[in-house]
Amino acid sequence: MAGQGPAPSSCDCFVALPPHTAAPAVIFGKNADRPRREVQEIVYVPAATHRPGDRVQCTYIEIEQAERTHAVVLSRPAWLWGAEMGANEHGVCVGNEGVWTREPVGEDEALLGMDLVRLGLERGSSAREALEVITALLERHGQGGSCKEEPVPFVYHNTFLLADRGEAWVLETAGRYWAAQRIQEGSRNISNQLSIGTDITAEHAELRQRARSQGWWSGAGEFSFAEAFSLEQQPPRMEAAKARYRAGKELLRQHAGHITAETFMAILRDKASGICVDSEGFRTAGSMVSVLPRDPALPCVHFFTATPDPSRSVFKPFIFVAGLKPAPQVMSPSFSDDPAKKVPRFQSTVDRRHELYRRHQAALELMDRDQEQGQKLQQTLRDLERQGLEAVNALLGGDVAPSPEELAELFFDCVDAEMKFYK
């Protein structure tokens, strides 16, 4: 099967809602674990209106465009159109994970799970709406195509975690079939495996009929999506995910009632559990934590690293406001002759590193080479991150009221400050 090599691949997504959070807010977090040399960039796409009949080119296929698309901020592998994770101007967050199920993966090009992340964010003004967008597009266009910037195809199906200020949803897919579970309180995590059992809130109209016709469910007793559609013989990467899923669940349990953005940052940095990945083939390429206050008068805040290995990266805050200052330091170069856009694909390579990635890479090399200097730099970066967190906490606590201009420059200024420390 395509994509069943020995290299471990993993992602972990988390959400916490009251009463598990310390404040009346929903907190979302994700590590995007990707091929080691892949670059993740942060891209802001403003809201737009489109003409009837307009089409949009996704990573591989073109589909019908929506009449209106929301403003989004995306953390994405620089070679593709979609995103590993992101948020929109309405406080919706979405992240995806790869899974292999009893439904065969196809190498035919269709929508990537990462395309569906972006499409859900651009077209959904709530987590529920984003889920409906994703499932409708999945049923219409299917999912497929290589998820890695290499000539040998790497193909998987997807699970998603979606959140807004009020609730969260887990959406799990197998081919064009899907099941979804609504989360209204407490906490939840997903890790490269089917986790929705009998507690199904919404599902594909023919899901159970499909399971029965294939002999995966007898039709008697309760229907479990995970039991019916999981592979009997799990690929190694899905077996490994079970330990991470349990570890993530335990970390959420330990912090229940006190979960903050800082809690999620610490969980995403946890190497002992395998949640923070740093292996020969794969590593955590980018990380995101979002705070979605229940009070609509307060802004949602989205923290991004834009660099690999969150244990040695800085989470930088982004807030949707008018007149956002672009941050070109975290945007990858574009190429007129891009090997990801030509068929056959990925026949050559290009250097997609953005400026922050380059400087961070040099800093990691210094940390590895000179332990004392590395520790000093690490402490400086954590101090920088703490300043950003304190400013955000003061804003959300109502202690300060920054001007719209300050908020528009917040993400750029934090990226710029980090860049200066690497000089």
Burial of residue 187 (number of CB atoms within 10 Å: 0-12, 13-18, 19+): buried
Backbone angles phi, psi at 141, to 5 degrees: -110, -15
H-run or E-run covering 363 = helix 355-369
pLDDT band, residue 3 (cuts 50/70/90)? very low
Residue 1 has pLDDT above 50, yes or no: no
Backbone angles phi, psi at 13, to 5 degrees: -125, 140
Q: How far apart are CA 328 and CA 228, in angstroms?
A: 46
Residue 218 has pLDDT above 90, yes or no: yes
Residue 302 has pLDDT above 70, yes or no: yes
The catalytic residue positions are 11
Burial of residue 40 (number of CB atoms within 10 Å: 0-12, 13-18, 19+): buried
Three-class secondary structure of residue 342 per DSSP: coil
pLDDT at 408: 97
pLDDT at 367: 87
pLDDT band, residue 184 (cuts 50/70/90)? very high
Q: How far apart are CA 302 and CA 320, in angstroms?
A: 9
Q: How far apart are CA 229 and CA 211, in angstroms?
A: 7
Three-class secondary structure of residue 223 per DSSP: coil
N-term to C-term CA, the chain: 46
pLDDT at 391: 95
Residue 4 has pLDDT above 70, yes or no: no
Q: Distances in Å between the alpha carbon of 111 and those of 53, 62, 134?
A: 19, 9, 10
Instruction: Supply the angle between the helices 261-268 and 236-255 in degrees, to the nearest 10.
Output: 150
**pTM (whole model) above 0.85:** yes
**Residue 328 neighbours by CB under 8 Å, 6+ apart:** 354, 355
* pLDDT, tens only, 254-294: 999 999 999 999 999 999 999 999 887 899 999 999 999 99
* pLDDT, tens only, 113-168: 999 999 999 999 999 999 999 999 999 999 999 999 999 999 999 999 999 999 99
pLDDT band, residue 78 (cuts 50/70/90)? very high
At 248, which amino acid appears?
A: G
Residue 296 has pLDDT above 80, yes or no: yes
* pLDDT, tens only, 369-418: 999 988 999 999 999 999 999 999 999 999 999 999 999 999 999 999 99
pLDDT at 353: 98
Tokens 């809690």 label which residue? 263
Sign of CA dihedral 249, 255, 261, 263: negative
pLDDT at 6: 38
DSSP state of 299: P
CB of 225 within 8 A of CB of 197? yes
Sign of CA dihedral 324, 325, 326, 329: negative
Q: How far apart are CA 182 and CA 158, in angstroms?
A: 17
CA 212 to chain centre: 33
Residue 2 has pLDDT above 60, yes or no: no
Burial of residue 45 (number of CB atoms within 10 Å: 0-12, 13-18, 19+): middle
Kindly report the CA angle at 43 between 98 and 367, in degrees rounded to 5? Answer: 75
Strand pairing category for 282-293 and 25-35: antiparallel
For residue 292, the cross-strand partners are 26
